[in-house]
Amino acid sequence: MNVDAVLIPVPALGPALAVLQEVLALPLRFRDGDRYAALDARLKLALATGDECMGKAAALVVRVADVDAALQRLLDAGARLRRHAEQGPHERRAAVSLAGLDIVLSQPASRPQVTGA
C-alpha cells in the first residue's frame, strides 16, 4: 500500500492554486474544473502533537532555504501570520494562512560539521 496524496480541503480552488503555483512554484499535475487539482510535490505524511502542531487543520509544510524571506513573500501575497518565525528543535519555522491553506515554512537547521577524531 502507498499513500498517493494528502487531500487538503480549501474554500475555493482558484485562490489556493494561485498560491501553490505562483507563490510556492509547485507545478500543476491535473485539474478538474473548480473542484479538484493535484500538484507535483515531494512529500511525506507527518503527524504532530503538542507544541509541534502549527494549527488545528492539515497544513502544507514547505522546506525553504530562508524562512524570513519566504515568510515575507507570503505576507506580501496577502497571507495572515499564524506563528512568527521561531527556532524549533530541528528547524526554524513559521506559519501562515493564505487562500484557505495553512502553510508551515520550515528551514532545516544547519548541521555542525563533523571532524575526524
CATH superfamily of 13-108: 2,3-Dihydroxybiphenyl 1,2-Dioxygenase, domain 1 (3.10.180.10)
Q: Please count the other Cβ atoms lying within 10 Å of the Cβ belonging to residue 116.
A: 3
pLDDT digit string, tens, across residues 7-31? 888 889 999 999 999 998 999 998 9
pLDDT > 60? residue 114 = no
pLDDT digit string, tens, across residues 38-94? 999 887 777 778 877 777 788 888 889 999 999 999 999 999 999 999 998 888 999
What is the residue extent of each domain of the chain? 13-108
pTM equals: 0.75
Confidence band, pLDDT 50/70/90 cuts, at residue 116? low
**Mean pLDDT throughout 92-99?**
94
Buried (b) or exposed (e) across 58-79, using 16+ Cβ within 10 A? ebbbbebeebeebbeebeeeeb
- Expressed in angstroms, the distance from the first to the final Cα of the chain is 44
pLDDT at 81: 97
